[in-house]
Structure 1
Amino acid sequence: KLRKENMVSIVVHKPSFSYPSVSSSSMKKKPRHHQQLKQQRQNQYDNNGFTSLSFTKPSPTPILIGKQSIHRTKLEALDSVITDLETSAQKGISFSEPEIFASLLETCYSLRAIDHGVRVHHLIPPYLLRNNLGISSKLVRLYASCGYTEVAHEVFDRMSKRELSPFAWNSLISGYAELGQYEDALALYFQMAEDGVKPDRFTFPRVLKACAGIGSIQIGDAIHRDLVKAGFGYDVYVLNALVDMYAKCGDIVKGRNVFDMIPHKDYVSWNSMLTGYLHHGLLLEALDIFRLMVQDGIEPDKVAISSVLARVLSFKHGRQLHGWVIRRGIEWELSVANALIVFYSKRGQLGQACFIFDQMPERDTVSWNAILSAHSKDSNGLKYFEQMQRANARLDGITFVSVLSICANTGMIQVGERLFSLMSKEYGIDPKMEHYACMVNLYGRAGMVEEAYSMIVQEMGFEAGPTVWGALLYACYLHGNADIGEVAAQHLFELEPDNEHNFELLMRIYSKAKRAEDVERVRQMMVDRGLET
């Protein structure tokens, strides 16, 4: 028995189901439809958790209670109980009560304590794991929700009577979908049908997320038919996921038709439709949904507001939205204020952007990056960078793209070189493609074309992309360097064979150099490739 003096407080949950032993598989297999779905790929709702699956919610049963628990965190309490169980197991004392393991797995899941979950897994008697569907299902959920889908599938394949409940299936489908393994998620859904497992209202949103991930409208339509046949054609939770799927698969009209069918729309319903329209660039329709949403008594949250602000084209609409958030008292929500800075800076209202930034009660890295980007052609932007350093804000790769762009646009060569060195040496940020593009632009604009070319061929640790070679080609155009321009253009012709701008820029370089034959040669290349001249 566990020593009373070492007992701590933890909630133990009664298991949802327990089933007798049956034979089970011992090998982990890919879903049978995996290859079929991969071939088809070639020709949401709440997906971050697994809190609403098919098992009834466990009821708490207080055991292992001690006076020390008040001063302990839940994780410390969990660790203490598992340690006591491990100590007892080493002494030959075994535990077969499913309530203990059900509770521990539930706690590990709620705390996302995967390391503790592995320890619990090792303590569960093999026969109990084979015979108790509730325990094995909770273990599958824990592994899948923490991204360990391979281990989850191994446990899943050893489960007995798994066809009696979709709980473990839902968990594994969701785990695959969260990791972007959409074909595996969909294949598992089709295997459910083959094995006679009846899907529930929590199955379909997860499968629809996977369908949206591969962008298959055909599979989406098939799942739509399945959920209607299963009796979930008017379930708001399922219909919200259906709206999101159609929007992401490119059929916004079907998405709107499903949206209009929802009898009692909740926040997710409206937000799914709003983000769908924004995703397709249908701003007027998105603003109309936003207006109807407010009229329906649903307050858009900061994420929805920020999404609209980020895409609004009309200065009038943006100002109206700014007034609306002021009236709601949410203008200083971080994501909203950040979006307002970007909105005003893109429309040349730098003073208004600075005013919002200066008045913000708190700032994050996005705030600083937004104001730095707003000053991309103004050397005063570096003052904000210095403030950012003094504030001990977290600098990231985007921060340095912004400050290097300021240096390039204002001709501050030495400052740019210092910042580029500082990025990796002091902040541990490895230069990416966009940082090298900034440096090439920095040197190129200053007429240091050979230095720009040298950075590409000697300093970059990976193949340069179109942004880097494009910056070099433009520098060659500005400063009339036909030799290096030819090299840059040749790389661009391979990387972007249909980009007319690269051909036209090279023709201008040749034209400046009085090389009429080369101009005609490039023009003929464009004709041969079917490009306009």
Structure 2
Amino acid sequence: MSKRKSSAFAWNSLISGYAESAQYEDAMAIYFQMAEDGVKPDRFTFPRVLKACGGIGSIQIGEAIHRDLVKEGFGYDVYVLNALVDMYAKCGDIVKAKSVFDMIPHKDYVSWNSMLTSYLHHGLLHEAVHIFRLMVRDGVEPDKVAISSVLARVLSLKHGRQLHGWVIRRGMECELSVANALIVLYSKMGQLSQACFVFDQMLERDIVSWNAIISAHSKDSNGLKYFEEMQRADVRPDVITFVSVLSLCANTGMVEDGERLFSLMSKEYGINPKMEHYACMVNLYGRAGMMQEAYSMIVREMGFEAGPTVWGALLYACYIHGNADIGEVAAQRLFELEPDNEHNFELLMRIYSKAKRIQDVERVRQMMVDRGLET
């Protein structure tokens, strides 16, 4: 091995070490020091430094490195270009990521998955599904992570079923992450029986599986049966599990069950209630018309300041049940927490309107005008 190659190898190892441990600034510093010392980068240098650049999120530095790699003759190296696609996507420039992707002469498995992941990361589902179809057409197998990501984000039942068929033909329906994504897909589309079918066919289940099927029953009391089955299977519920079961209780009016589960969460499983759990309980009491209990949950039981989700649940309950006194308190807190959220002002006006307090309706409308929320 020549001295130059040996030197590049040593520098690459340093860059890689820093990049892998998320010390991105240090990795970038090593790259620039390498240039100052006259050590020529090779095809292994650029993917490592591009990973670090993506971690920093600097498009300017990324473009400079892009120019460097072209100058060094790696402008058509698949290994380097794959890393370049990933870097541009992580830096927020999905257009340049796609432009680089289109330049790759012989796209490999990594190329396709990098572009697919990039679209998913930016929420461009239509483009992600298009790339997925092109991959399949070209005989490239997406990995199970990519498949799961696409399935969980599909917005059309037709496309979801097509992808499910493709998964079955590939014999991947038993893959844990894929099956979990299918449950999410079908529950999101309102296909509860299909979600249950996928769950019942699973040979292996994890906490994500149980949370997905319980969440799928967010408006169905049968979700508690899955929770009980989960307990019998010795799977320990987590924070997300209790958000799902408490939401279920709120949506179905099961106050006693909600209270029991809220107590079980801390006493049996040692999970301290978080903002989301308190919001569920306020919603539970509020939907049941138990306004004093809902208000007491916020001011007496919470060990921290309530956020917009909690006060918002209370305000909405006050609107449903026509409680102007507590509604005023909730609205005032929301005006402080979300001064530009006109929905809160509108809800309070509706509460006042129900109570025939026309002067208060006009007062709140004037507040909106003063804050530039209504002309």
Alignment TM-score, normalising by the size of structure 1: 0.66
In structure 2, the CA distance between the partners of 1:486 and 1:371, relative to structure 1 (3 Å rule), is same
Find the aligned partners of 1:241 and 1:500 in 2 and give their Cα distance: 44
Partner of 1:25: none
Partner of 1:437: 279
Partner of 2:217: 375
Indicate whether 1:169 and 2:14 are aligned.
yes
Partner of 2:181: 339
Following superposition, the deviation at residue 468 of structure 1 comes to 1.3
Find the aligned partners of 2:235 and 2:314 in 1 and give their Cα distance: 33
Which of 258, 263, 266 is matched with 1:416 structurally?
258
Task: State the identity as a percent.
Answer: 84
In structure 2, the CA distance between the partners of 1:323 and 1:163, relative to structure 1 (3 Å rule), is closer
In structure 2, the CA distance between the partners of 1:168 and 1:320, relative to structure 1 (3 Å rule), is closer
Following superposition, the deviation at residue 284 of structure 1 comes to 2.6
Indicate whether 1:260 and 2:260 are aligned.
no
Q: 2:86·2:114 contact (CA, 8 Å) conserved in 1?
A: yes
Q: Deviations over 1:160-197 (max 9, x none)?
A: xx9983044314431452xxx54444344434444545
Q: 2:15·2:30 contact (CA, 8 Å) conserved in 1?
A: no
Partner of 1:68: none
Find the aligned partners of 1:470 and 1:194 in 2 and give their Cα distance: 57
Q: Deviations over 1:336-386 (max 9, x none)?
A: 111111111111111111111111111111111111001001111100000
Indicate whether 1:289 and 2:131 are aligned.
yes
Question: How do residues 233-312 of structure 1 correspond to structure 2 at under 5 angstroms?
Answer: 233-312=75-154
Which of 289, 295, 299 is matched with 1:453 structurally?
295
Indicate whether 1:389 and 2:234 are aligned.
no
In structure 2, the CA distance between the partners of 1:276 and 1:519, relative to structure 1 (3 Å rule), is same
Find the aligned partners of 2:347 and 2:366 in 1 and give their Cα distance: 15
Find the aligned partners of 2:30 and 2:350 in 1 and give their Cα distance: 57
Q: 1:186·1:207 contact (CA, 8 Å) conserved in 2?
A: yes
Q: Which runs of 5+ in 2 are unaligned?
A: none
Amino acid at match of 1:478: I
SS in 2 for 1:233: coil
Partner of 1:462: 304
Amino acid at match of 1:450: Q
In structure 2, the CA distance between the partners of 1:325 and 1:198, relative to structure 1 (3 Å rule), is same
Q: 1:164·1:197 contact (CA, 8 Å) conserved in 2?
A: no
Following superposition, the deviation at residue 395 of structure 1 comes to 1.4
Q: 2:265·2:272 contact (CA, 8 Å) conserved in 1?
A: yes
Amino acid at match of 1:332: C
Amino acid at match of 1:377: K
Which of 480, 484, 489 is matched with 2:331 structurally?
489
In structure 2, the CA distance between the partners of 1:202 and 1:434, relative to structure 1 (3 Å rule), is farther
Partner of 2:340: 498
Partner of 1:227: 69
Following superposition, the deviation at residue 316 of structure 1 comes to 1.0
Which of 329, 339, 360 is matched with 1:518 structurally?
360
Find the aligned partners of 1:168 and 1:313 in 2 and give their Cα distance: 43
Indicate whether 1:363 and 2:205 are aligned.
yes
Alignment TM-score, normalising by the size of structure 2: 0.92
In structure 2, the CA distance between the partners of 1:315 and 1:478, relative to structure 1 (3 Å rule), is same
Q: 2:113·2:143 contact (CA, 8 Å) conserved in 1?
A: no
In structure 2, the CA distance between the partners of 1:352 and 1:224, relative to structure 1 (3 Å rule), is same
Find the aligned partners of 1:207 and 1:483 in 2 and give their Cα distance: 60
Following superposition, the deviation at residue 319 of structure 1 comes to 0.8
Find the aligned partners of 1:396 and 1:350 in 2 and give their Cα distance: 23
Q: Which runs of 5+ in 1 are unaligned?
A: 1-15, 19-53, 56-161
Amino acid at match of 1:382: L
Find the aligned partners of 2:364 and 2:45 in 1 and give their Cα distance: 57
Question: How do residues 65-144 of structure 1 correspond to structure 2 at under 5 angstroms?
Answer: none
Paired residue total: 374
**Alignment RMSD:** 2.4
Structure with a larger share of its residues in helix: 2
Q: 2:24·2:52 contact (CA, 8 Å) conserved in 1?
A: yes
Q: Deviations over 1:84-116 (max 9, x none)?
A: xxxxxxxxxxxxxxxxxxxxxxxxxxxxxxxxx
Structure with higher Rg: it is 1
